[in-house]
Amino acid sequence: MNNRQPIFRFFAVTGLIIFSILGQTGFCENSILSAAVPQLTPEEQAWLSHHDGRIRLAHTPDWPPMDFLDESGTPTGMAADYVRVIEKKLDFKFRMVPVKSWSEMLARAREGTIDVISAGQETEDRKKFMTWSTPFLNLKTTIIVRKQNTMKLCLDQMRGMRIGVARQYAVGEFIRQQYPYLTMVDVSNPLEGIRMVSFGELDAMITEVPNALYIIETEKITNLRLAGDTGFELKHGMGIRKDWPVFSRIIEKTLASITQDEHNDIYRRWVKLHTQSVFQTRTFWYSVLGTAAVIMLVMGTVVTWNIQLKRQVNQRTEALRRNETGLEALLALNEQPHGSIQAIVEFAFRQMLELTQSRFGYLSFRNQDGITHVLDSSNSENGKQFYTLEKSKGFTTGTKGLWGDAVRLSRPVISNDYAVSNPDCRGLPEGCKHITRYMNVPIFKDNEIVVLAGMGNKPTDYTASDLRQLSLLAHGMWRMIQRKTAEHAMLKSEKRFNDLVEHSPNAIAIVRENQVVYKNANHTALIGDLNLLDPSKVERLHPDDLPGVISFFDQIVRNDLTHSEVAFRFFREKPGLGKGRMKWVSCIATPIEYNDRDAFLLIFIDMTEEKRLQHLLTIQDKMASLGQVSAGIAHEIRNPLSGINIHLDIIEKFFHDPNKADKTVTSIQAVRSASHKIELVIRRVMNFAKPTEPRFDRIQINDPVKEAIKLTRVTLNKKGIDIIDDLEDGLPECFAEPHLMEELILNLINNASDAFSGIKSNGVIKVTSTCRNHRIRLTVEDNGPGIDQNQKQKIFDPFFTTKKNSTGIGLSLCHRIVTDHRGELTAGESELGGAAFTIEIPAQPV
C-alpha cells in the first residue's frame, strides 16, 4: 500500500498540471465561473426568494449563436450562458417558457404571459411594455453577399438590391428609418435569409456578425462572404416586465458583478473569427510560465491536500453510515409487524434513541380523539426504560427549556450547551436528570403539532444530520399511526358492510364479466340454482315472464343496461316433478365497480307474499263487489220474473180456449223475451264475477284497436257519429290479450256512442294511441255532454248506470280488463268538450 502512494501522488500531480495547462489555454470552455456575487438588500433578497422558480423567461429559439435551442430543446448560446451566470450568482432559477419565434415572444411579452426576455435590443416601441437592462451583448451588424459580388459595400451603395432582414429585428427598423429608399424583405429568421442569398433569391442579408459566422460555418455554406459593415451596432440587454422595478435593480447589480474575463469567455466560446497556432498565442506562453509556478505550488500543497481529502472521506463515510442506519431504522419501522399503535410508538422511540446516540428522550403524539400520549425516559438510569401517560391538554409551551421551545417557536430546536440556553433549568419536569445538550422536532399537520420528539445528552454535539434523522423517524411513525388507524377503521367498516349484506333479507349477487363472483347466504335460499345469466335454458321460469327476463339479463351480459328492474315468476322444482311452489321476485340491477373492474349488483326481492296478499285483496274487493252484484241481480231479474209469472197465468187461463190462441202466443213471446234478459244479465254477471284466465302475448296494441274501430264505424256512421283515429306508428310491443283489448275499446266506443242519445248535433269520437316513459296510452274521447263531477267516482262501480236499459256492468268490465293488464283506467274531460277515457299499460323493453 505504501509503495502505491508515490505513484498515486505522481499521477495526481501530473493530472493537476495538465488540467491547469488546459484551463489556461481555454479548453475548459464550459467552466464559466461566477466569482463575484451581487450584494442585495434584504428587500431584494426576500423578493427573489419569493419568486424563485416562478419568473417566466423566454429564449429566442432561432438566433444562433446568441440565443437558440439545441436539438434536445435546451436553451443554448451567448444569452443562455449569461442567464446561467445570473442564476448561479443569485442562487436562483428561472422558469423557462418555450416560444416558436421572436415575433411570438414579443407578442406574449405585451400580453404579460412571459416576464423576462433573455436578450433583445431596446426600441421605442419595446420600452412601452418592458424595462431593458444595461446591454451585455454589443454586436455589430454585417452585410452578407455571394462571393461573385467582390465589392466592399455600405448601406448607401445598396439601392436597387433586395436586402433581407429578420422580421421585427431592431436592425430592420433602423434601416427602414434611416434608409427608406432601400428594398427590404422580411424573413422569418437569419438562417432563412442567408440560405436565400446563397440560392440567389436575395441580393444581400443583414444580421449580426456572430450570427452570420455561426450559420455559415454550421451550415457549411461556401459561396458567401461578409461584404461590409452597416454602421449599426446592436446593444442587447435583458427585457423585464415594467411593473417589477425590484427585479430590474437585482439584474442590474448582477450584470455589474460579471467580470470582463467572464464576458470574454462567453464571447470567445461562440465567436471565432479566425484560428491561429497555439504557439502564436499569448495564452500559451502565459500558460508555460504559469505551469511552472503551479507545479511548484502543487508539489508543496499535495501533502496537505491528501490529509484534508482523507479527513473528508472519513467524514463522508461516517455520514453515509449514519444515513444507512437511518434508512435501516425507517425500513424496520415499516416492516415491523406491529400489533397496535402503542407497539409502533415504542419501537420508533427505541430507534430514535439508538440512531441519535442519546441517553434519554421523550416522544408525544396526538390521536384522533385529541388525547396526547407521552413516552418519557428522562428519569431512567440508562435511558432505556420509559413510562407512558395521557394528557388531555395537548402540547403546551409550559415546559420552557425542553419541548416547550419547539412548540413556542414552531420549528426544530438544538441546544448543544444546555446550561447556557437555560441557566436556571426552568420548566424541567421534577426529577429530570442533568441535561448537557438536547434537540427536539415538532411534526405538523394542517398547521397543528401532531408529534413532538426530543432527544438529550448525546456524547457529542447534535448536528443537522441528527435533526434530519429524528424528523424522518417521527414522520415515518406518524404515517404508520395514521395508516394503522385507517386500517382499523376500514376493517370495521368492511365488517359492518359484510354483516349487512350477509344478513340482508334480500338475495344479493355480484356479476362481473358474465360470471357470478359473489352471492350472499339468502341468495341460495331464495333463487337456488337458477342460472339467470342464460334464462333461455331455464325451464322453471313462468312462460309469460320469459321474454322480459331474457331481455333484461341479455342487457347485463352485453353491459348495456337500459332498464334497472324486472319482475318474474319461477318454480322451485324442476319440470316433471310437479310445478311445486311458485316464487315471484323483483330483480334490481345497479352498475358498480368491484375489485377495480366494472360489475353489476343484483338485488332479488321476494315478492311472493306481497303478491299473495294482493291476490287476497283482489278477492276481498270482488267479495265486496259481490254484495253490490247480488243487489243488482235481484233488481235486474225481479221485473222479468214478475212478467213471466203474469204471462204464465194468462197462458194457463187461455190455453184450452182456441179463440184466445193469439193471446197465448203473445204471452209466450213475452216470456221468451224476459227469459233472454235474465240470461243476458246472468252471463254478464258470470263474466264479471268469474272471468276466464286471459292468455297474454306480445302484440302491437294498434292491431286490436283498429279492429274495434272497424267493427263500429258503419254503425256509428248510421247514427250520424264520426269516428276518427290518431294511432302513433312504431309503438313498442306489450303483453296483452288481443280479444280483451278489442272488447275494451268496443265497450268504450259504445259507451261514448250512447252518450249522444237525444242530442241532435253531429257527434265525434276520437281514438288515439301514444307511448311515453315506457307506458302505452290509449284514449277514447268524444264531444258529448261529458261526465257529471258527482258521478265520476262511481262510474266504474258494478251496476252503476245513468242510462235506460243498461246493466251497469260495461265500465266495470273495462276496469277489470285494464287491471288484469297491470294498467290504469281513468276518466276525465276531453279537449273535444265531452268525456275522455284514458288507458295506460306497461310497454315491453325492446
Q: Tell me: the pLDDT tens digits for 363-394?
A: 777 765 555 666 666 655 555 555 555 555 55
Q: How confident is the model at residue 131 (pLDDT cuts 50, 70, 90)?
A: very high
Decide if 689 is inside a domain: no
Same domain, 174 and 322: no
pLDDT for the residue 206: 94
More confident residue, 592 or 407: 592
pLDDT for the residue 276: 44
Residue 113 φ then ψ, to 5°: -90, -5
pLDDT for the residue 760: 58
User: Hey, how many other C-beta atoms are within 10 angstroms of the C-beta on 392?
Assistant: 8
Region 510-519 average pLDDT: 88
Q: Of 24-33, 125-134, 275-284, 329-338, give the lowest mean pLDDT range.
A: 24-33
Same domain, 667 and 707: no
Domain of 380: which CATH number? 3.30.450.40
Same domain, 95 and 214: yes
Mean residue pLDDT of the chain comes to 79
pLDDT for the residue 427: 58
Determine the Cα–Cα distance for residues 776 and 488; give it in Å rounded to an integer.
54
Task: Please check the confidence at residue 235 and state whether its pLDDT lies above 90.
Answer: no
Task: Please check the confidence at residue 19 and state whether its pLDDT lies above 50.
Answer: no
C-alpha cell at 305: 491536500
More confident residue, 81 or 845: 81
Determine the Cα–Cα distance for residues 204 and 253; give it in Å rounded to an integer.
40
Same domain, 298 and 267: no
Query: Across 299-313, 364-378, 458-472, 828-842, which has the greatest mean pLDDT?
Result: 828-842
Place of cell 416522544: 363
Decide if 543 is inside a domain: yes
Cβ–Cβ under 8 Å, residues 388 and 374: yes
pLDDT for the residue 242: 93
Same domain, 441 and 550: no
Cβ–Cβ under 8 Å, residues 67 and 59: yes
pLDDT for the residue 574: 56
Domain of 78: which CATH number? 3.40.190.10
Decide if 496 is inside a domain: no
pLDDT for the residue 684: 58
Determine the Cα–Cα distance for residues 463 and 479; give it in Å rounded to an integer.
25
C-alpha cell at 299: 508539489
Same domain, 385 and 480: yes
How many secondary structure helices (H) and strands (E) does the chain include?
Answer: 21, 30
pLDDT for the residue 41: 92
Determine the Cα–Cα distance for residues 394 and 499; give it in Å rounded to an integer.
37
Task: Please check the confidence at residue 315 and state whether its pLDDT lies above 80.
Answer: no
Same domain, 147 and 212: yes
More confident residue, 501 or 367: 501
- What are the residue ranges of helices labelled H in 397-535? 403-409, 418-421, 464-502, 521-526
Q: How confident is the model at residue 541 (pLDDT cuts 50, 70, 90)?
A: confident
Residue 230 φ then ψ, to 5°: -85, -15
Same domain, 59 and 179: yes
Task: Please check the confidence at residue 805 and state whether its pLDDT lies above 60.
Answer: no
The number of domains in the chain is: 6
Task: Please check the confidence at residue 277 and state whether its pLDDT lies above 50.
Answer: no
What share of the chain has pLDDT > 90, as a percent? Answer: 22
**775 in helix, strand or coil?**
strand
Tell which of 585, 604, 623 closes a domain. Answer: 604
Q: Tell me: the pLDDT tens digits for 632-651?
A: 565 566 667 666 777 677 77
Determine the Cα–Cα distance for residues 90 and 725; give it in Å rounded to an integer.
89
What share of the chain has pLDDT > 70, as a percent? Answer: 74
More confident residue, 778 or 300: 778
Q: Which DSSP category does 396 fall into?
A: -
Task: Please check the confidence at residue 275 and state whether its pLDDT lies above 50.
Answer: no
Task: Please check the confidence at residue 204 and state whether its pLDDT lies above 80.
Answer: yes
Cβ–Cβ under 8 Å, residues 586 and 555: no
First to last CA, the chain: 91
Same domain, 659 and 786: no
Q: Hey, what long-range contacts does 664-670 have (CB within 8 A, 24 or more apart)?
A: 670/643
Cβ–Cβ under 8 Å, residues 286 and 94: no
Determine the Cα–Cα distance for residues 649 and 647; give it in Å rounded to an integer.
5
Same domain, 389 and 257: no
Decide if 687 is inside a domain: no
Question: Taking the CA of residue 573 as centre, how many other CA atoms within 13 Å lie in the half-sphere pointing to its CB?
Answer: 7
Task: Please check the confidence at residue 727 and state whether its pLDDT lies above 90.
Answer: yes
Task: Please check the confidence at residue 493 and state whether its pLDDT lies above 60.
Answer: yes
H or E element that contains 777: strand 775-782
Decide if 735 is inside a domain: yes
pLDDT for the residue 251: 92
C-alpha cell at 462: 447534535
Domain of 709: which CATH number? 3.30.565.10
Task: Tell me the C-alpha to C-alpha distance, in Å, between residue 387 and each of 29, 481, 523, 666.
Answer: 64, 19, 54, 122
427's torsion region: left (phi>0), alpha (psi -120 to 50) or beta? left
Q: Of 388-402, 589-603, 697-711, 759-773, give the lowest mean pLDDT range.
A: 388-402
Region 259-279 average pLDDT: 72
Q: How confident is the model at residue 322 (pLDDT cuts 50, 70, 90)?
A: low
Task: Please check the confidence at residue 102 and state whether its pLDDT lies above 70.
Answer: yes
Q: How confident is the model at residue 34 (pLDDT cuts 50, 70, 90)?
A: very low
Instruction: Let me know how long the chain is.
Output: 846
Question: What are the strands, taking DSSP E only, across 271-412?
Answer: 360-366, 372-376, 387-391
Decide if 94 is inside a domain: yes
C-alpha cell at 777: 296510452
Cβ–Cβ under 8 Å, residues 822 and 841: yes
Region 241-254 average pLDDT: 93
Tell which of 430, 459, 489 closes a domain. Answer: 489
689 Cα distance to chain centroid = 62
Cβ–Cβ under 8 Å, residues 354 and 348: no
Task: Please check the confidence at residue 331 and state whether its pLDDT lies above 70.
Answer: no
More confident residue, 669 or 530: 530
Residue 570 φ then ψ, to 5°: -150, 160
C-alpha cell at 57: 423567461
pLDDT for the residue 307: 76
Same domain, 564 and 595: yes
User: Hey, how many other C-beta atoms are within 10 angstroms of the C-beta on 654?
Assistant: 16
Tell which of 555, 588, 604 closes a domain. Answer: 604
pLDDT for the residue 18: 46
Task: Please check the confidence at residue 533 and state whether its pLDDT lies above 70.
Answer: yes
CA angle 117, 121, 125 (to 5 degrees): 90
Q: Which domain holds residue 381?
A: 336-489
pLDDT for the residue 333: 59
pLDDT for the residue 98: 93
Question: Taking the CA of residue 728 as centre, how many other CA atoms within 13 Å lie in the half-sphere pointing to its CB?
Answer: 13
pLDDT for the residue 836: 92
pLDDT for the residue 683: 60
Q: Give 375's contacts (C-beta < 8 A, 6+ positions apart).
A: 345, 346, 349, 362, 363, 364, 386, 387, 388
SS (H, E, C) 202-251: CCEEEEEHHHHHHHHHHCCCCCEEEEEEEEEEEEEEEEEECCCHHHHHHH
Query: Across 177-191, 352-366, 434-448, which has the greatest mean pLDDT?
Result: 177-191
Position 135, amino acid: P
Task: Please check the confidence at residue 68 and state whether its pLDDT lies above 80.
Answer: yes
Decide if 686 is inside a domain: no
Q: Tell me: the pLDDT tens digits for 564-610?
A: 888 888 887 654 444 457 888 999 999 998 888 889 999 999 888 88
Cβ–Cβ under 8 Å, residues 439 and 357: no
Angle between helical axes of 260-270 and 78-90 (0-180°, round to 10): 150
Q: What is the sign of the dihedral through the CA atoms of 753, 756, 758 and 762?
A: negative
Same domain, 21 and 37: no
Place of cell 470552455: 29
Task: Tell me the C-alpha to C-alpha distance, in Å, between residue 451 and each of 393, 434, 538.
Answer: 14, 24, 63
More confident residue, 296 or 215: 215
Domain of 587: which CATH number? 3.30.450.20
Q: How confident is the model at residue 301 (pLDDT cuts 50, 70, 90)?
A: confident
Output the pTM of the full model. 0.35
Task: Please check the confidence at residue 437 and state whether its pLDDT lies above 80.
Answer: yes
Decide if 690 is inside a domain: no
Region 443-469 average pLDDT: 83
